[in-house]
Amino acid sequence: MADLSGLTAAVARFVPALQFQDLTPEVLRISRRCVLDGLAVMLAGSEQPGMAPLARHIARIGGAPDARLVGDAAARLPAPAAALWNGTAGHAMDWDDTQLAEGPGRPYGLLMHPTVPPLASSLALSDLVAAERGRPVGGQEFLTAFNAGFEVGCKVAEAINPDHYMRGFHTSGTIGTFAAAATAAKLLGLDEAQAAQAIGMAASMASGIRANFGSMTKPLHVGRASENGVTATLLAREGFSANAEAFDGRWGYLAVAGPGGEPALVRDRLGAPFTMEIPGVSIKPYPSGVLTHPSMDAMRFLMEEHRLAAEDIEAVKLRAGRNVLGPIRFRIARTELEGKFSFAFLLSAIILRGRAGKAEFTDDFVSSPECQAMQQRIGTEFDPEIEAMGWERIRSRIDVRTRDGRTITRWADENYRGSPHNPLSDAELEGKFRDCAAGLLSEHRIAQVFDAVWSIETLGDTGVLVELLSWKH
């Protein structure tokens, strides 16, 4: 008999029971922002280089025409394949939002990207569900399912031992699988027993290692999480069996992948409060790891405040603790994918262009002579004093030496732009969407997306979202 006090049972109870009325006004407000941001990064990601070989792969496999793709609403694929595409696109630029930690010892910014796996799952399964029952998935149903996955993913990421990430697992690829499965279970109407089976299968599918950061495989982690979550749920609906306590016990996911965890931190707090609301979610201003953003802003503000141009810079030294320097692994970036994990490139983009958006994150710009030369002037250094301040915030300091002999220092703001403490405004979020949509959607189409998402709970058919994001035909 299943342990009804375990984390698996708590998740299995929460997902079927969640109703639209359970979502607070603040959760709804943040949900709209997360959906708009998630659609933006999926759209931008749909034209990234890694998507071409993935498109050839899924076209070769083929299958039932159950679901459409972000960027190409004319293409129809099995729902798991559509989730694979949408999830990979959503993480292709590393521009998707970040969960905040709240438990003791949880390094800030190193949990998961919570929106893309459940959103990819929602988009892929909405077409299938609508076809099966003969009526579309409306906005309230869509948001309820999305929040079920968002909340489950965040709470599991909070429960697992932080060593999960520090040892090399990519949390968005691992825990993202459970987020996608929970959303799929809600949309497919699974009961508690079926939801537990889906979680059990997802636990054997959840994977992704940080060795693949800086390659096309990093976004594939999130695509596979989305695909596997949908697959596990579809199998559970068909009666396929799994361990109904897969989070719990000696051989459960928390023990094996942590190793260990603290399910008591979250077991009785699913939706009470929603993690989306407390402690909140960070929406990224830059398409790189959230740990880099305060330093990038510090560089930008320093340049503006002292009216510096690129030719004024002699050298830059960034000082930080291991939580910031460790994951950012490339000394010099040669490709756009490496650039996301290279302070030399990220600060070079700010110095040379005054920004770091879709136009800067290209192989051509990263490999350009001016960018390669500037990267040589930028270094990092471990700072034990900053390390001693703790990891519950992202802390760093930038020292700039100018060609006229000055040394200018600026600390990164702990309440960085995009965090719940200093959130992007709705207008800034729309600006990010426009950057993501540049060259893909017309201004009229962009305005239609805004109208749909800002009032998503009133939509009678959320399938319009995929239609509006189609640019390939």
Specify the pLDDT at position 327. 86
Specify the pLDDT at position 3. 64
231-243, pLDDT tens digit by residue?
999 999 999 999 9
> Distance between CA atoms of 436 and 94, rounded to whole angstroms?
12
> Distance between CA atoms of 127 and 86, rounded to whole angstroms?
13
Mean pLDDT of all residues in 94-105: 84
Query: 407 pLDDT exceeds 70?
Result: yes
Using alpha carbons only, what angle is made at residue 379 by residues 365 and 100, rounded to the nearest 5 degrees?
80
Domains of the chain by residue range: 7-283+449-468, 290-411
Query: 18 pLDDT exceeds 50?
Result: yes
pTM for this prediction: 0.93
Mean pLDDT of all residues in 54-69: 95
Specify the pLDDT at position 1. 40
- Which CATH class for the 7-283+449-468 domain? mainly alpha
Out of 102-111, 162-171, 360-369, which region has the weakest mean confidence (pLDDT)? 102-111
Whether 290-411 and 7-283+449-468 are alike in CATH topology: the answer is: no
Looking at CATH, the fold of the domain delimited by 290-411 is given as 60s Ribosomal Protein L30; Chain: A; (3.30.1330)
Specify the pLDDT at position 281. 94
120-174, pLDDT tens digit by residue?
999 999 999 999 999 999 999 999 999 999 999 999 999 998 889 888 999 999 9
Mean pLDDT of the chain: 94
Out of 217-221, 271-275, 336-340, 390-394, which region has the weakest mean confidence (pLDDT)? 390-394
The residue type found at 310 is A
Those residues with Cβ within 8 angstroms of residue 73's Cβ, 6 or more apart along the chain or in another chain:
466, 467, 469, 470, 473
Give, in order, the Cα–Cα distances in Å from 403 to each of 8, 95, 307, 308, 378: 60, 34, 14, 11, 14
263-311, pLDDT tens digit by residue?
999 999 999 999 999 999 999 999 998 889 999 999 999 999 999 999 9
